[in-house]
């Protein structure tokens, strides 16, 4: 189904649906988010949402120290740093500072499709190399790859239970987009424990997330290295409609104003872990963000920064509490390592 790039997105999607019939949730979400991220920097208090690296420098610093420690225990191989969906580049900038104190100064590779965010990343990490996907990453060094709030932005498919399971599609009524039940799908593709779910139940999958995870894990298996993925999510399989839209720090209807809201879905870490394992990766977790950051020493880092600038002590503690309490259990972390690499810190 083709989407005319010369039209405003809502019109182009409506025209495509009129021509070819209802489209999958994945296609709607993919087109909406591609437009959304390509046309703005959504991060920060003035934008639509705030992420952990934008809350506190400690987040990126602790992840940098996590990487340097693993690299050190893996006997310091030549290494490249990769971030997927780096937003403003803040996490990598903070991590690079922390890694340098531990003697690690890797070249930086960003996987980012938004030109607006690429420009923001360039101001913080001028020497990075940009990629559209994992296929062009260096293939002759180990990789440490980090993805914070990246997988939640990738398109999901939804199945809905009626008499049997159906693919959920997006229809268009005049100017209104709305979800409907499409053609039935074979029962076999629904995990057997969930097949008998009540009418109205929704099951989500993210084929794009599986593909990205496999591609990175395959490289780790061949090249060495590790990946850290942090997102809000759950250990599946589970039922539920987690497709959500956020605009100006408030929830919106995900089918309204496509391309003008941030569309996300909760990440199924069990499926991501299986994808990594199927490509030869060794999986750690998932663990709660609170346990990861606690294990990496966020409390001593908060105290050290507060001692260095006492006027900021209250603000530092408030930031620490946002990462540990507000986000601490909703957000989870999954690590993947190359076979025979050491246990990553925070996942013991
Ligand atoms: N990691 C950052 C930004 C999270 S927002 C932070 O924590 O602040 C999601 C990021 O993923 C943005 O940089 C967005 O442009 C990028 N992104 C979304 N879909 C993408 C895709 N299909 N391929 C590459 N990057 C994508």
- Residue-wise pLDDT for 297-306, tens only, equals 999 999 999 9
Report CA-CA distances (Å) from 313 to 186, 268, 320. Answer: 57, 36, 11
Most informative mutation of 37, 55, 136 for ligand 1 (most atoms within 8 A of CB): 37
Q: Which of 103, 58, 60 is nearest to 304 (CA)?
A: 58
Cβ of 134 less than 6 Å from ligand 1? no
pLDDT in tens, 269-279: 999 999 999 99
278: preceding bond cis by omega (within 30 degrees): no
Q: What pLDDT was estimated at residue 2?
A: 82
253: alpha, beta or left? (left if phi > 0; alpha if psi -120 to 50): beta
How much distance in Å is there from the Cα of 234 to the middle of ligand 1? 20
* Cα 323 to middle of ligand 1, angstroms: 19
Give me the residues paired with residue 204 across strands: 158
Tokens coding 178: 């709305």
Q: Is residue 255 scored above 80 in pLDDT?
A: yes
Closest residue CA from atom 5 of ligand 1: 87
The answer, as to whether pTM is greater than 0.85, is yes
- What's the angle, vertex CA 260, arms to CA 255 and CA 265, rounded to 5? 55
271 lines ligand 1 (CB under 6 A): no
| Best residue among 41, 48, 87, 119 to mutate for probing ligand 1, ranked by most atoms within 8 Å of CB | 87
Q: Is 155 touching ligand 1 by the criterion CB < 6 Å?
A: no
SS3 of 7, please? Answer: coil
112 Cβ below 6 A of ligand 1 = yes
Token pair, residue 56, equals 């506190």
Antiparallel, parallel or unpaired: β 142-148 and 225-234: parallel
Write the residue with the smallest CA distance to atom 26 of ligand 1.
85
- Cβ-in-10-Å burial (0-12, 13-18, 19+) of 203 comes to buried
Cis bond upstream, residue 237 (ω within 30): yes
Query: 36: pLDDT confidence band, cut at 50, 70 and 90?
Result: very high
Pocket test for ligand 1, best of 153, 259, 322 (most atoms within 8 A of CB): 153
How many angstroms separate the alpha carbon of residue 83 from the centre of ligand 1? 10
Rounded distance from Cα 154 to ligand 1 centre (Å): 9
Average pLDDT, whole number, for the chain?
96
Query: Is any ligand 1 atom within 6 A of the Cβ of residue 56?
Result: no
Q: Which residue intervals of 39-173 are DSSP H helices? A: 52-55, 57-73, 90-101, 115-124
pLDDT at residue 52, rounded to an integer? 98
Rounded (10°) CA dihedral 35, 40, 45, 48? -10
pLDDT digits (tens, 9 = 90+) for 171-218: 999 889 999 999 999 999 999 999 999 999 999 999 999 999 999 999
Structure token digits, residue 328: 């601490």
Place of tokens 């990629």: 131
Q: Cα angle at 235 between 230 and 238, to 5 degrees?
A: 130
What is the token pair recorded at 314?
């209250």
């Amino acid at each position: 189904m083709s989407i005319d790039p010369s039209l405003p997105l809502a019109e182009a999607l409506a025209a495509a649906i009129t021509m070819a019939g209802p489209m999958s949730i994945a296609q709607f979400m993919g087109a909406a988010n591609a437009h959304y991220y390509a046309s703005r920097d959504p991060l920060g208090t003035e934008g639509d949402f705030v992420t952990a690296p934008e809350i506190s420098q400690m987040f990126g610093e602790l992840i940098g120290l996590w990487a340097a420690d693993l690299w050190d225990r893996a006997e310091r191989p030549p290494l490249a740093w990769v971030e997927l969906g780096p937003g403003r580049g803040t996490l990598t900038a903070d991590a690079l500072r922390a890694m340098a104190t531990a003697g690690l100064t890797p070249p930086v590779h960003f996987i980012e499709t938004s030109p607006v965010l690429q420009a923001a990343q360039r101001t913080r990490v001028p020497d990075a190399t940009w990629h559209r996907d994992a296929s062009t990453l260096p293939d002759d060094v180990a990789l440490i790859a980090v993805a914070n709030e990246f997988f939640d932005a990738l398109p999901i498919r939804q199945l809905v239970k009626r008499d049997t399971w159906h693919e959920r599609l997006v229809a268009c009524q005049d100017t209104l987009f709305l979800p409907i039940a499409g053609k039935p799908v074979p029962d076999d593709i629904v995990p057997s424990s969930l097949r008998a779910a009540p009418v109205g139940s929704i099951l989500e999958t993210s084929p794009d997330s599986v593909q990205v995870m496999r591609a990175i894990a395959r490289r780790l298996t061949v090249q060495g290295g590790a990946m850290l993925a942090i997102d809000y999510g759950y250990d599946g399989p589970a039922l539920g409609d987690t497709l959500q839209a956020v605009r100006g720090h408030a929830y919106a209807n995900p089918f309204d104003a496509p391309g003008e809201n941030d569309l996300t879905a909760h990440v199924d870490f069990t499926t991501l872990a299986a994808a990594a394992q199927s490509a030869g990766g060794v999986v750690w977790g998932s663990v709660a963000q609170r346990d990861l950051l606690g294990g990496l020493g966020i409390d001593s880092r908060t105290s050290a920064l507060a001692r260095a600038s006492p006027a900021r002590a209250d603000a530092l503690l408030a930031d620490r509490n946002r990462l540990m309490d507000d986000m601490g259990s909703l957000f989870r972390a999954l690590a993947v390592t190359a076979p025979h690499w050491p246990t990553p810190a925070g996942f013991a």
